[in-house]
Amino acid sequence: MLTDIYKKIRNQERISPEEGLEVLQNAELLDLGDLANGIRFQKNPQPHVTFVIDSNPNYTNVCNIDCIFCAFYRHPGEEGVYTHSVNEMIQKFKESSDKGVTTILLQGGVNPALPFEYYLEMVSRTIKEVPQVHPHFFSTSEIIGMAEVSKLSIREVLQKLWEVGMRTIPGGGAEILSDKVKKKISSLKGTSEDWLNVMREAHRIGFKSTATMMYGHIETDEDIVIHLENVRKLQDEFHGFTAFVPWSFKPGNTPLEKIIPHYASSTRYLQMIAFSRIYLDNFQHIQGSWFSEGKKTGQIALHFGGDDFGGTLLEENVHAAANFVNKTNTDEVIDLIRESGFIPAQRTTLYEILRTYEQKMAA
């Protein structure tokens, strides 16, 4: 059976969920990597690996969704709770821009005290006052929160964000798009269809977004396939996803830590990267990150189907809240990509190449 499926994959034929599960559960890791790497070069023949110079600040950690995998959020009145003004955030963006950042990935908790105007002002002022950075703002949960607070529909909220200049949305908040899992780890966050619906409406308007997956907690292999099938189906509708970004659950300081005390292995990460590349036949980019599983594993992921190395992450607070800290800078990212045998290429949020680093820079 596996041999027949491999043949289909090599012939660039779509595999079914049943065939996907067979591959995920029974393929040897190196066979998976080999197949995924072949697809990577069919889709992206150049030996470039892209990266973006970015920062992931947060405007508030107030949240009323209480996901049990999250160490980041606080309730009002708790120690360490914060909400920054638009002025404070613009100042932060300017400082990032001065350091060469081109993408700001901005997310927060779902804070019901913030009016919709706060978000619109954040976008419009960023575009006007910090034009060097691209506002890659707000996860689906925050967008659903904006709809609740403003009494507008999801479509109307997205339309207004589009009108003030937003063009892309980060793909966070998907976790595992299988309701059996969602009910247990994020019961107040809504269903898989809620995430898919925000993305569908966004793509219909013209937004681009990433799609993500947080694995390594209570999900089964079947749930992974359901997740990828949901994402693949939506991509067939509008081709609005730029890239797929998997990462493992980080248990530190989360309620879920009591049940899942460790994060998934590097081997599982490589399997997720390769399997995503194989299953998501309508995605051009798969991100193998230096950040989420460590630099060495990130480098190996570039030989398992990944063609993007993620962002430089000048600021990151969500994983840090779970005691997972990993730092780099642009020069190191360039070196890591080179060491892996590829040509580093700085990209925009929309995966357009800004410059390539063909030659080693002088010391």
Answer yes or no whether residue 68 interacts with ligand SF4 by CB under 6 A: no
CB of 329 to ligand SF4, least distance (A): 27
Q: Which of 111, 141, 209, 340 binds ligand SF4 (CB under 6 A)?
A: 141
Q: Which of 6, 73, 93, 351 binds ligand SF4 (CB under 6 A)?
A: 73
Could you tell me which stretch among 8-16, 65-73, 118-126, 219-227 binds ligand SF4 (CB under 6 A)?
65-73
Answer yes or no whether residue 109 interacts with ligand SF4 by CB under 6 A: yes
Answer yes or no whether residue 212 interacts with ligand SF4 by CB under 6 A: no
Burial code (b: 16+ CB inside 10 Å, e: under 16) for 212-241 equals bbbbbbbbeeebbbbbbbbbbebbeebebb
The distance from CA 96 to its chain's CA centroid, rounded to whole angstroms, is 20
Residue 185: name the closest of 307, 43, 68 by CA.
68
Nearer to ligand SF4, 320 or 343 (CB): 320
Positive or negative, the Cα torsion across 246, 250, 255, 258? positive
Answer yes or no whether residue 72 interacts with ligand SF4 by CB under 6 A: yes
With CB under 6 A, what is the number of residues at the site for ligand SF4? 12
Q: Which of 70, 90, 130, 196 binds ligand SF4 (CB under 6 A)?
A: 70
Token pair, residue 20, equals 């996907």
Nearer to ligand SF4, 196 or 302 (CB): 196
Token pair, residue 265, equals 């292995």
Answer yes or no whether residue 292 interacts with ligand SF4 by CB under 6 A: no
Burial code (b: 16+ CB inside 10 Å, e: under 16) for 133-165 equals bbbbbbbbbbbbbbbebbeeebbebbebbeebe
The distance in angstroms from the start CA to the end CA of the chain is 53
**Residue list 179-198, contact with ligand SF4 (CB under 6 A):** 186, 189
User: Token match 């596996």: residue?
Assistant: 2
CB of 65 to ligand SF4, least distance (A): 4
What residues line the site for ligand SF4 (CB under 6 A)?
63, 65-67, 70, 72-73, 109-110, 141, 186, 189
